[in-house]
Amino acid sequence: MSKPDIRIQVDPTNPGQFFACCGLLELAGRISADAEGRFTSDSFEIVNAGDLPSLINAITSAPLRQLDADNATSTRIQIESPFNLRLDWWRDDVPALAALKVWAGTMESFRIARAMQHAMRAEIFSTGGLLNAGDVAYDPDDLEKKVEPFYFDARRGPNAHSRDVGFSPNDLSMTTTAFPAVEFLCLVGLQRCRPVPVPPTRSRIYDYFLWSQPLAPLLLPAAVAGLFGRERGYRFESWFRTGQKKHKAFITAKSINLQPTDP
């Protein structure tokens, strides 16, 4: 592999960061047809994609369009030119994948996506620390209103339930630091790349696998499923983060080492 154009730090045990890498490569590939990406020991690299600041500028400048005016919570979302990508994976009628939709109730998918995208305009998001940049996200239409994230980032989930912190931030309507790039890019990454459900079907537990050879976006579903190697695999839960058992969060994954014949 030639010297990467883009290298970002990644924690492979954070499923939000993992699928955010998939999302970043997806968007890079829609600008540069030859873009390929791979994981190293502690980073994600992309070649043939230009520089990271230019890519982030394109991502944060692309208009988002709400496709279902009467469904603010689960509307399909269009990322306009230069990406022309429709996001609607949470509308799939597949029981085994339903738990990947972590938001519920009054949480509005389009509003959250726009807030996370807008927060990524800060200069820190154009560096290798893209996925570790924390900030409070605001509604682009009202910069005094704070917007809570989807809860894809595994650093947030364990801090949301009262039994873990002694009180419930959700019940108190508290706003805490989000990781906007993880939240937005994970939403994108899950459009093409899905983790593998672990039986039983409704267990809310999933596997995903890293790959070390450069791959184009079209090959990522097979790589994530472990078809290009299962040496670096991880298992995580989409965990109920509130006592109502409606809202979920991705939590930290554990390393696994499955053989090719394992389910």
In this prediction the pTM is 0.90
Average pLDDT over residues 246-258: 89
Q: Are strands 254-256 and 77-79 parallel, antiparallel or unpaired?
A: unpaired
Q: What is the pLDDT of residues 123-143, one digit of tens each?
A: 999 999 999 999 999 999 998
pLDDT in tens, 167-211: 445 454 555 689 999 999 999 999 999 999 998 867 899 999 999
* Predicted local confidence at residue 177, as pLDDT: 85
* Distances, alpha carbon 248 to alpha carbons 80, 151, 161, in Å: 28, 7, 10
Predicted local distance difference test score (pLDDT) of residue 159: 54
Is a pLDDT exceeding 90 seen at residue 95?
no
Q: What is the distance between the alpha carbons of residues 46 and 218, in angstroms, rounded to a whole number?
A: 14
Query: Would you say 195 and 208 are in contact if contact means Cβ atoms under 8 Å apart?
Result: yes
pLDDT in tens, 11-67: 999 999 999 999 999 999 999 999 999 999 899 999 999 999 999 999 999 999 999
Residue 43 CA to its chain's centroid (Å): 16
Domain spans of the chain, in order of start: 6-247
Query: Of the candidates 120, 133, 107, 13, which has an alpha carbon nearest to the alpha carbon of residue 62?
Result: 120
| C-alpha count within 13 angstroms, C-beta hemisphere, residue 92 | 16
In whole angstroms, what is the distance from residue 86 CA to residue 70 CA?
Answer: 17
For 77-171, list the strands marked E by DSSP: 77-79, 85-87, 137-139, 142-147
pLDDT at 166: 45
